[in-house]
Amino acid sequence: MPPTYSDESRELAFQEAIDSDRTVEPRDWMPERYRSTMIRQIAQHAHSEIIGMQPEGNWITRAPSLRRKAILLAKVQDEAGHGLYLYAAAETLGVERRELTDLLLAGRQKYSSIFNYPTLTWADVGAIGWLVDGAAITNQLALTKTSYGPYARAMVRICREESFHQRQGFELLAELSRGTEAQHEMAQDAVNRWWWPALMMFGPPDAESPNTAQSMAWKIKRVSNDDLRQRFVDMTVPQARALGLDLPDPELGWNETRGHYDFGPIDWEEFREVVGGHGPCNLQRISVRRAADEEGAWVREAARAWEGRQQGRMSAA
Amino acid sequence: MSESDDWPLWEVFLRGRRGLAHQHVGSLHAPDPELALQNARDLYTRRGEGISIWVVRSTEVHASDPDDQGPLFDPPADKAYRHPTFYRVPEDLQL
Ligand SMILES: [Fe+2]
Ligand SMILES: [Fe+2]
């Protein structure tokens, strides 16, 4: 008879494996809380990729040139792919994609609050690529070393694809910034609106982030919210200068002693409002997603019916 | 939410270029093999990552138990004589 282990001793062994940087693989034993935390995090990440297609998708038909349209299409298609990689990673933990997408549609699982802001002008497409994808890359690069193997591998693949997302946004804004006065203003306005929400993407400050300690111990999270945010600010300030655009923060400045840029306080009240469902586009995002799901149902059903008939034909033959 | 069951899951294997073996790259949902291949092309080869795709129903993959890792894979550890470095031979003979 194989030896039986108590959950306690298994949990100890699990933590030891994590401490020695061993990745967790789907069939390994893991604490239930690790599993449920991982499912929730990967699902929210997947939902963010899928919902994230909407703000930019909004501009595909109105892109100002064929070149820009092709780029934007490719980018939005990548985001769909990212969502699918991530749902597949979540499924290795014993849930089905459909359960997760149902939870999203029912409003019982969240996605990144950034996608509840509207894309008012063409410059927003640039600001999203530069700032939102820039912040996402900062976050995702850290996650390539997360402890759950399938999630980490999805991150590696995603990061490889992301770099063009940020660059196309930067290039788009650079063109506008150096364009006519109206174009420059449009670029500046977009940056003004996206800067603070982009900083919020890293989540609440470490001091108010109750799950951080456990996630760090399990190496689900490798870098804290505040550290990631600082990384992003330090990287972005010189880029803004190169663009000839201002970041809307009067307190932004190099701190010689810290060796980092200081920045002003973030409006966490706004963050809570948007996360709580009261952002400018929350309702729209979910209803568009729900409509896409309902309108695509007949395609999925037809494909299944076709497959059923093929099976029948094969067994008859 | 019109259906209770999603399309079945498929594992995707890609050959990067001629001369390489197919490698597992991930999984996806599709109703049948043909659409699984199509979806795999869209999902995993948007940047020329492959020249050949295999798809296999996930339920057809049988895996070893991670708890058996010791009994299954430890035995070779004490068979050092399977490695060329086990043998002492004259260094200048290009053996
Ligand atoms: Fe993405
Ligand atoms: Fe992206």
Percent of chain A with pLDDT over 90: 91
Using a CB-CB distance cutoff of 8 angstroms, which residues of chain B are in contact with residue A153? 26
Q: From the candidates A25, A98, A151, A153, which should be mutated to test the interface with B, based on the most B CB atoms within 10 A?
A: A98
3-state secondary structure B30-62: CCCHHHHHHHHHHHHCCCCCCCEEEEEEHHHCC
Confidence band, pLDDT 50/70/90 cuts, at residue B3: very low
Q: A300 and B66: CB-CB below 8 Å?
A: no
CB < 8 Å from B in window 62-121 of A: 74, 77-78, 81, 84-85, 88, 91, 96-98, 102, 105
As a whole number, mean pLDDT of residues A268-272 equals 96
Q: How many CA atoms lie within 13 A of A221 on its CB side?
A: 21
Contacts by residues A73-76 (CB-CB < 8 Å, ≥ 24 positions apart): A74/A164, A74/B46, A75/A129, A75/A164, A75/A165, A75/A168
Phi and psi at residue A225, to the nearest 5°: -50, -50
What is the structure's pLDDT at A3? 57
Instruction: Say which ligand is closest to the CA of A81.
Output: 1
DSSP state of B93: G
CA distances from residue A185 to A49, A118, B30, B60 in whole angstroms, order as listed: 29, 18, 46, 58
SS3 A291: helix
Q: How far is the CA of A4 from the centre of ligand 2 (A)?
A: 45
Q: From the candidates B3, B4, B5, B6, which should be mutated to test the interface with A, based on the most A CB atoms within 10 A?
A: B6
CB neighbours (10 Å) of residue A211?
13
Confidence band, pLDDT 50/70/90 cuts, at residue A129: very high
Say what the pTM is.
0.92
pLDDT at B2 over 70: no
Using a CB-CB distance cutoff of 8 angstroms, which residues of chain B are in contact with residue A163? none
Contacts by residues A60-63 (CB-CB < 8 Å, ≥ 24 positions apart): A62/A122, A63/A122, A63/A125
CB A31 within 8 A of CB A14: yes
- The one-letter amino acid code at B71 reads P
Distance (Å, whole) CA A191 – CA A26: 41
**How many A-B residue pairs are in contact by the CB < 8 A criterion?**
59
User: Does the beta carbon of A27 lie under 8 angstroms from any beta carbon of chain B?
Assistant: yes
pLDDT in tens, A168-201: 999 999 999 999 999 999 999 999 999 999 999 9
Residue from the list B1, B26, B66 with its beta carbon closest to the beta carbon of A28: B66
Q: From the candidates A300, A301, A309, A314, which should be mutated to test the interface with B, based on the most B CB atoms within 10 A?
A: A300
CB neighbours (10 Å) of residue A186?
21
Write b or e for each residue in B35-57: b if 16 or more Cβ atoms lie within 10 A of its Cβ, otherwise e: bbeebbeebbbeeeebeebbbee
Q: How far is the CA of A158 from the centre of ligand 1 (A)?
A: 7
Q: Note the ipTM here.
A: 0.83
